[in-house]
A and B are shown apart, each in its own frame.
Chain A
Amino acid sequence: KAGVTQTPRYLIKTRGQQVTLSCSPISGHRSVSWYQQTPGQGLQFLFEYFSETQRNKGNFPGRFSGRQFSNSRSEMNVSTLELGDSALYLCASSLTQPGQGAGEQFFGPGTRLTVL
């Protein structure tokens, strides 16, 4: 079974631009979460989606948004990029459903975003 895939793997943008990152979860997984990883802040939660609904959101500005499609694939968008948005963006999927509590989450390789 294929793992979580993320595209693109690397991206270079300039300040003020916007970017869209894509995540395809493991087949059958309907829960998708996004995390930002930086050397200074570590891994920080961005969003959690289940069945096209955003269930939880981390403490990030409104420039960060996301969505999930009916096939469970997810995208996240960052508008008006800032230098501090340079990070590794990780997507994770799991089989768990709302109300079941947390379970094993499988991470993709991430998208390395560099903002110049």
Chain B
Amino acid sequence: GESVGLHLPTLSVQEGDNSIINCAYSNSASDYFIWYKQESGKGPQFIIDIRSNMDKRQGQRVTVLLNKTVKHLSLQIAATQPGDSAVYFCAENLAEGYSTLTFGKGTMLLVSP
């Protein structure tokens, strides 16, 4: 496959560990946030989203935390598996009525068996 990014921050974990991926977003007016997973050679895949009126949302094995005070978003993956290895992006949307997403630079997650 082809790499989606060079010189990305990398998080290396062991299978079964919990992973936490962090993201600082840019605009205090953003009201919707999404985490995407991108595997080599594929398009971004939706993981979980959260709106600005919430500070936590849980999915299957994943939790997103939003701290609007410091413009910080985190993705927690429980019991990380080798199949979770990918590049993870956070994205934000401004409350302007458009669907436009502004993406972070991404973090590469490497899971060792």
Q: What is A's interface to B at a CB cutoff of 8 Å?
A: 4, 31, 33, 35, 37, 39, 42-45, 48, 55-56, 58, 88, 90, 92, 94, 96, 98-110, 112
B14 close to chain A: CB less than 8 A: no
Contact B43 A4 (CB under 8 A): yes
Contact B34 A55 (CB under 8 A): no
Chain A residue, CB-CB nearest to B4: A37
Give the CA-CA distance A98 to B89 in the complex, in Å: 25
What is the interface of chain A mostly: helix, strand, loop, or mixed? strand
Contact A104 B46 (CB under 8 A): yes
Q: Which residues of chain B from 51 to 98 have a CB within 8 Å of any chain A CB?
A: 89, 91, 93, 95, 97-98
Classify chain B's interface size: 20 to 34
Contact A94 B99 (CB under 8 A): yes
Contact A45 B101 (CB under 8 A): yes
Identify which of B3, B44, B93 contacts A107 (C-beta below 8 A): B44
Identify which of B2, B31, B89, B99 contacts A43 (C-beta below 8 A): B89
Give the CA-CA distance A103 to B6 in the complex, in Å: 29
Contact A101 B6 (CB under 8 A): no
Identify which of A45, A55, A102 contacts B32 (C-beta below 8 A): A102
Contact B45 A107 (CB under 8 A): yes
B103 close to chain A: CB less than 8 A: yes
B102 close to chain A: CB less than 8 A: yes
Chain A residues contacting B105 (CB-CB under 8 Å) are: 42
21 contacts between A and B (CB under 8 A): A39-B7, A42-B5, A42-B106, A43-B44, A45-B100, A45-B102, A55-B99, A56-B98, A56-B100, A92-B43, A94-B99, A98-B97, A99-B97, A101-B31, A102-B100, A104-B34, A105-B34, A106-B46, A107-B36, A107-B43, A108-B43
Give the CA-CA distance A110 to B106 in the complex, in Å: 17
Query: Considering the complex of A and B, which 6 residue pairs feature the smallest CB-CB distances, nearest first?
Result: A107-B43, A102-B93, A43-B103, A39-B6, A102-B32, A56-B98
Chain B residue, CB-CB nearest to A98: B97
Contact A105 B2 (CB under 8 A): no
